[in-house]
Amino acid sequence: MSSEPEVLFENLAPAGYITLNRPKALNALTHDMCLAIKAQLDAWRDDDEIERVVIRAAGDRAFCAGGDIRTLYESGKAGTSYALDFYRDEYILNATIKHYPKPYIAMVRGIVMGGGVGVSVHGNYRVADESTLFAMPETGIGLFPDVGGSYFLPRMPGEIGLYLALTGARLKTEDCVYAGVATHFVPAAKWGELGDLLLETFEDVTPLAELFAGLPDPVTRTLPSLVEHREKIDAHFAADSVEAILDALDADASDWARETAKTIRAKSPIATKLAFRQIREGKNLNFDDCMRMEFRMVSRVVAGRDFYEGVRAAIIDKDQSPKWQPSRLEDVSDKDIDAYFAPLGDRELKL
């Protein structure tokens, strides 16, 4: 077992640096990491030497691939409190970042999913290089796009946020910028220059927009572009239910529509309907109310079945054949979904 700290902190005034330090685990977040980052942010908030905070990650493969799903699975199966403790403190950390009074800059390279999105997308600046790969694939493991997904996804252009929530589609760098996941593109070769810039004293980091302009050459793109499919996304995903979205996709003879419908149908029916309701509700909620809503939802997910079946199929047994219950969207009623959003009484998330 490694004796290396899971997360590193450096005071390089005027910048404070956070480094996620589990590269072999794709820098997946643990409960202790969430608590440590929150405590350090609180300390730097009141430190006049620190003008901005920069979060980055060790290794080249991933900024952060999400939460430590295997540990959450084991906690839930054993009936321990770890899973809910993790989600509670992760969501509190997300809110701390969203409301942080100093510039917060995320240096995002490689995989950024789930919990990695939560510790980056709510900051002021998200800098991506050409290796960045974003996704919120939670419905594929019986979960929903949490860590503030109910806030930032419906605020993406058009219906892109709902499309990403229901499909788990992966975005490369240029689409990350287009959707607002990243605020800037900086080629990896220039990250040294950027590091020097972030150690200078200035009012804000807006000079990034002028110093590092542009996107990767489109010929390097191997995943579908949001721009290419934007018209269809906005038309089909504006429907008022998951079933209506699938009907619209089925009526579209394109390969893209057929594959999109197939992808949605492979996800957990409960999680898919949860994600739909979550995105629609979140559009009209402030950030903190979104996080409170998500904690209500995840409390019921942890007490349910599909999350454990999804993790089993994807990570434990790796057979990629989850047996969802119910197995069909039409067997998930509005009343079933309402129960996930019900108040928790004295167990509500306190921000």
What residues are labeled active site?
67, 115, 138, 146
Which of 36, 31, 273, 1 has its CA nearest to residue 139? 273
9: left (phi over 0), alpha (psi -120 to 50) or beta: beta
Helix 255-265 and helix 160-167, axial crossing angle in degrees, nearest 10: 50
DSSP state of 305: S
Place of tokens 């970042």: 97
In 58-121 the beta strands, taken as DSSP E runs, fall at 62-64, 104-108, 111-113
- How would you classify residue 29: left for phi > 0, otherwise alpha for psi between -120 and 50, otherwise beta? beta
Q: Which residues contact 94 (CB under 8 A, 6 or more apart)?
A: 118, 119, 122, 147, 148, 291
Handedness of CA 118, 122, 128, 133 (dihedral sign): positive
Instruction: Count other Cβ atoms within 10 Å, centred on residue 337.
Output: 16
- Measured distance CA(122)–CA(140) in Å, rounded: 23
Q: Which two tokens stand for residue 322?
A: 């989850």
Give 219's DSSP letter.
G
What DSSP string runs through 109-149?
Answer: -SEEETHHHHTTTTSSEEEE-TT-EEE--GGGGT----TTH
Token reading at 68: 């430590």
**Measured between alpha carbons, how far is 107 from 293 in angstroms, rounded to an integer?**
28
